């Protein structure tokens, strides 16, 4: 099951996918890792695992459209069944999102539809939420608004900081993101009309 992973930073979610596929828990082939930042540590993780990498610096493009067109060409060279956004910090154009409709996933650090966008951990604390978490969802043109596949939550302690909460949420990401990818790779999830349906075996 060929996938391509897009990153901008540390790539710990990428690492979780690499580890699970090496351990035989996840039957996917990561065909390429693409970063918009040359110094993303995730590129080192990919190289260490023998995965081809690309860097596409968004600053060298005149427009979002031009960047996304080039990105799409690189991705499609690898004919992935699924495109995985793993800490890819770029807003996508509508035509890019539409091109991968039903075959592109993102992980967002909040219990969507709460706290779309950035600084989710601090915002959850400030809003005096009792719990917070992470969502894996299909990507739609609207930011952090596509159909949710799976969420995991954690309590917010009374002395919680954005840093401590981020750490807890991150470790949940590493569990549920590979799981969502596994379900898709095993054809246990279908995406139709903007909605997710699950195989009864899940």
Q: What is the DSSP string of 163-191?
A: HHHHHHHHHHHHHHHHHHHHHHHTT-EEE
Binding positions for ligand GRF, 23-42, rule CB under 6 A: 42
Binding status of residue 109 toward ligand GRF by CB under 6 A: yes
Binding status of residue 84 toward ligand GRF by CB under 6 A: no
Binding status of residue 144 toward ligand GRF by CB under 6 A: no
Strands 29-35 and 2-7: parallel
192 carries an active-site annotation: no
Binding status of residue 86 toward ligand GRF by CB under 6 A: yes
Binding status of residue 80 toward ligand GRF by CB under 6 A: no
Contact 56, 74 (CB under 8 A): yes
Binding status of residue 140 toward ligand GRF by CB under 6 A: no
Single out the catalytic residue among 54, 99, 108, 132: 108
Q: Is 12 annotated as a binding residue?
A: yes
Contact 5, 31 (CB under 8 A): no
Which pair of structure tokens corresponds to residue 65?
């459209």
Residue among 137, 140, 139, 114 nearest 125 (CA): 114
Q: Which stretch binds ligand GRF (CB under 6 A): 21-29, 54-62, 101-109, 189-197?
A: 101-109
When binding is defined by CB under 6 A, the residue of 13, 35, 93, 185 that contacts ligand GRF is 13
In whole angstroms, give the CA distance from residue 6 to residue 54: 10
Residues near ligand GRF, by CB under 6 A: 7, 9-13, 42, 86-87, 107-109, 170, 173
């Amino acid at each position: 099951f060929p996938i391509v992973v897009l990153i901008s930073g540390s790539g710990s979610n990428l690492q979780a996918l690499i580890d699970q596929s090496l351990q035989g828990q996840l039957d996917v082939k990561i065909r390429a890792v693409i970063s918009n930042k040359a110094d993303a540590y995730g590129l080192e993780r990919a190289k260490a695992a023998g995965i081809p990498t690309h860097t596409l610096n968004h600053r060298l493009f005149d427009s979002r459209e031009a960047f996304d067109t080039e990105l799409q060409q690189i991705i499609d060279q690898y004919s992935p069944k699924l495109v995985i956004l793993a800490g890819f910090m770029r807003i996508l154009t509508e035509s890019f999102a539409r091109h991968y409709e039903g075959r592109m996933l993102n992980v967002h650090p909040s219990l969507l539809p709460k706290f779309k966008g950035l600084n989710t951990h601090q915002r959850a604390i400030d809003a005096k939420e009792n719990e917070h978490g992470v969502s894996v969802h299909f990507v739609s043109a609207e930011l952090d608004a596509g159909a949710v596949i799976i969420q995991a939550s954690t309590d917010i302690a009374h002395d919680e900081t954005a840093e401590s909460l981020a750490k807890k949420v991150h470790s949940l990401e590493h569990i549920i993101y590979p799981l969502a990818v596994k379900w898709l790779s095993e054809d246990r999830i279908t995406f139709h009309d903007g909605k997710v349906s699950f195989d009864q075996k899940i």
